[in-house]
Amino acid sequence: MAADAVAGTTTPEFLSRMHVAHCVRCLRGLPDAAVEADCMRMMVAYYCLSSLDLLSGLDEKVSKDEKSDWITWIWSQYISDDQLAGFRGAPFLTGPSAAAQEPPHILMTYTALLSLAILRDDFSRLDRRRLIAFLKQTQLADGSFEPWLGSGEGGDVRIIYGALAICRMLNSWTGIDLQSTVAYIQACRAHDGGYGQTPHAEANGGATYCAVAALELASQPLQGKERDHTLSWLAHRQKDGFQGRTEKEQDACYSFWCGAAIALLGSADLVDRDSNAQFLMGCQFKLGGFAKAIGEFPDPLHTYLSMAALSIYPPSWGVPLSGIDPLINVRTETASWITEKLASSEPL
């Protein structure tokens, strides 16, 4: 325990080694209780890999061979036909004969690209044109995107964020109708200045991050009174950590969703970093990982988003985490790798 001389209280120790071990453990195997993640293992893998990236634990604790195995697995989720390409979340329909195949999914594609960048893959196997064609096919008349082709599900701001983050990573905006997407996001704006997941839905922190980030990705960032109103909504979500909705309990993941949105609006100086970190450190599990609230068990999502929030808002006593790009949600150096290796310099 390190003494906090100013406040006269003690600050909890950040358990780096425990967190690294916890994330490696999750990548090697999850308990049966995680069965609801069966169709989205790619996303779980990203949470763990990106945690390790922030902890600088990938070179230290994972062998080259194991990393190469992980890259192999991610590429084996790559689905490409003569028109479309993208990543599925896991081979949950696939038997040895591969007679059935899962369709690519926008959020699994977004997290697969980030994971490959974290592992420093060079993307030579990626067909960028077909990936853009996939996004184009999934776009709906209202400007949103369905998560996978033929899902019969409507879109929402989460899927929009994933689709636009892919466009940004590829540096290609020709495939989609951006104006209708922006109109959809605007329709999700609530009376209190936050954003809901779909039009008419209650404002919440996750949707507000997706909306703010998507508008930024679309190079149409919030401005003027709308920006001030949204910033105010976000700032009011801080208790010690952040709550996701007005008059609800705080939850570790909203330290990222609300905190990163505040940073994207250029006002990171408005967050009380030490109060936020005190709450998050209370969510730290003694065997590694972070839980959504004090006294609960950790999971990969809350583990990653807690560390991502601490990376944006390091407390006065410091945390051993690398810097993060809050827009595409990955370590700064990894974001540079994406710009270098994935972004196309010529129009697709």
Partner 1 sequence: MEFLNPEPPYVLFRDRPEWSDVTPIAQDDGPTPLAPILYSDKYKDATSYFRAIYVAKEYSPRVLDLTLEIIKQNASHYTVWQYRYRTLLALNSPLTQELHLLSKLLPTHLKSYQAWNHRRLLLLQLGKKSARGELAFAEIALAKDAKNYHTWVYREWLLCNFFAPAPAITTSPAAGEDAEPAIEELDEDGGADEEVWREEVVFTDRMLEDDVRNNSVWHHRFFVLFEGPRAKQSPDVAESEIEYTKHKIALAPNNASSWNYLRGILSHTRTPLPLLLPFARPYTLPQSAQSSLRAFADPGELPFLPGEKAQLPCVAALEFVADALAEEGKPEAGGVYDELVQRDPVRKQFWEYRKRSLQSASAPVGAQA
Positions 20 through 39 that interact with partner 1 (CB under 8 A)? 26-32, 34-39
Min CB(85)–partner 1 separation in Å: 19
Site residues for partner 1, window 89-108 (CB under 8 A)?
Answer: 90-100, 102
Considering the complex, state which of residue 5 and residue 99 has its C-beta at the smaller distance from partner 1: 99
Given candidates 1, 82, 152, 345, which one binds partner 1 under the rule CB under 8 A? Answer: 152
Q: Between 202 and 296, whose beta carbon lies closer to partner 1?
A: 202
How many whole angstroms separate alpha carbon 321 and alpha carbon 23? 15
Max Cα–Cα distance, the chain, nearest Å? 65
- Scanning residues 182 to 201, which ones bind partner 1 (CB under 8 A)? 190-193, 197-198, 200-201
- Using the rule CB under 8 A, give the single segment among 86-94, 162-170, 250-258, 286-294 that binds partner 1: 86-94
Report the nearest approach of partner 1 to the CB of residue 191 (Å).
4
Q: Judged by CB under 8 A, which stretch of 70-78, 127-135, 170-178, 316-324 contacts partner 1?
A: 70-78
* In the complex, least distance from residue 173 CB atom to partner 1, rounded to whole angstroms: 29
Based on the shown chain and the rule CB under 8 A, indicate whether residue 8 belongs to the binding site for partner 1: no
Q: How far is the CB of 96 from partner 1 (least distance, A)?
A: 5
Which is it for strands 330-331 and 2-3: parallel, antiparallel or unpaired? unpaired
Q: Which of 58, 166, 203, 265 binds partner 1 (CB under 8 A)?
A: 203
Apex CA 129: angle with CA 110 and CA 49, to 5°? 20
CB-based contact 324:331 (threshold 8 Å): yes
Find the binding residues for partner 1 in span 231-290 (CB under 8 A): 232-233, 235-236, 238-240, 245-248, 267, 269-272, 275
Nearer to partner 1, 116 or 321 (CB): 116
Residues 44-63 within binding reach of partner 1 (CB under 8 A) = 44-45, 48
* Angle between helix 205-217 and 224-235 (nearest 10): 150
Q: How far apart are the first and last CA of the chain?
A: 54
Burial class (CB in 10 A: 0-12, 13-18, 19+), 171: middle
Please report, as residue ranges, which positions from 210 to 229 form the binding site for partner 1 (by CB under 8 A): 225-226, 228-229
Q: Tell me how far, at minimum, the Cβ of 46 lies from partner 1, in Å.
A: 9
Task: State how far the Cα of 1 lies from the Cα of 18, in Å rounded to an integer.
Answer: 15
Distance of CA 108 to the CA centre of its chain: 11
Residue 113 region by backbone torsions, left for phi larger than 0, else alpha for psi between -120 and 50, else beta: alpha
Q: What phi, psi does 284 have (nearest 5°)?
A: -70, 130
- Which is nearer to partner 1, 15 or 48 (by Cβ)? 48
Concatenated DSSP letters of 267-327: -GGGS-HHHHHHHHHHTB-TTS-B-SSTTSPP-HHHHHHHHHHHHHS--TT--S---EETT
